[in-house]
Amino acid sequence: MKYDNANIFAKILRGEAPCIKVHEDDCTLAFMDIMPQVEGHTLVIPKEPASSLFDLSDSASLACMRAVKIVAKAVELAMGVKGSTVFQHNGKEAGQTVPHFHFHIFPGSIFNASGIKGHAVEMADPAELELVAEKIRAFIGEAAIQVHQVTKP
């Protein structure tokens, strides 16, 4: 799929649009979903300009999975749940609304989350998202240790 440089995540990566960041490395950025379906709904995107899974390079795939492991574990720890759900859409026919590859991370189960909201429907209060992001950021270090991306000093 031809990459659209004007999509909102490309703007976030260029610093032309804001995001509530929870984690960043050389190849990926993780931030709060602005229309969360559940509290703690977080996104991980590659810095590489890939529209869908089928456009993503092998090196960016690996970088995304490394970041997803850390961020998903941090979301679990921050939200006080034992499990998490990771998913992504490929193409508008599958429900993809932003044409830059990304993983969604939900705390807990997508199937029995109480009060789950529609997909990309309701904007959250940025101040409330920032409070959730603060909690997630506080667990990134511990999460990296738990998923064996770093070892204890």
Q: Which of 41, 100, 102, 104 is catalytic?
A: 102
Q: Are 7 and 98 in contact (CB under 8 A)?
A: yes
Least distance between ligand AMP and beta carbon 140 (Å): 18
| CA separation for the pair 24, 35 (Å, rounded) | 20
Which of 32-40, 50-58, 110-118, 144-152 is the region at the interface with ligand AMP (rule: CB under 6 A)?
A: 32-40
Question: Which residue in 77, 6, 16 sits closest to 42, CA to CA?
Answer: 77
Residues in contact with ligand AMP, total (CB under 6 A)? 14
Residue number with CB closer to ligand AMP (89 or 135): 89
The DSSP string of 9-49 is: HHHHHTTSS---EEEE-SSEEEEE-SS-SSTT-EEEEESS-
148 belongs to the catalytic site: no
Q: Which residue of 1, 27, 35, 81 would you call a contact of ligand AMP, by CB under 6 A?
A: 35
Which of 52-60, 62-70, 94-102, 108-116 is the region at the interface with ligand AMP (rule: CB under 6 A)?
A: 94-102
Catalytic (active-site) positions: 102
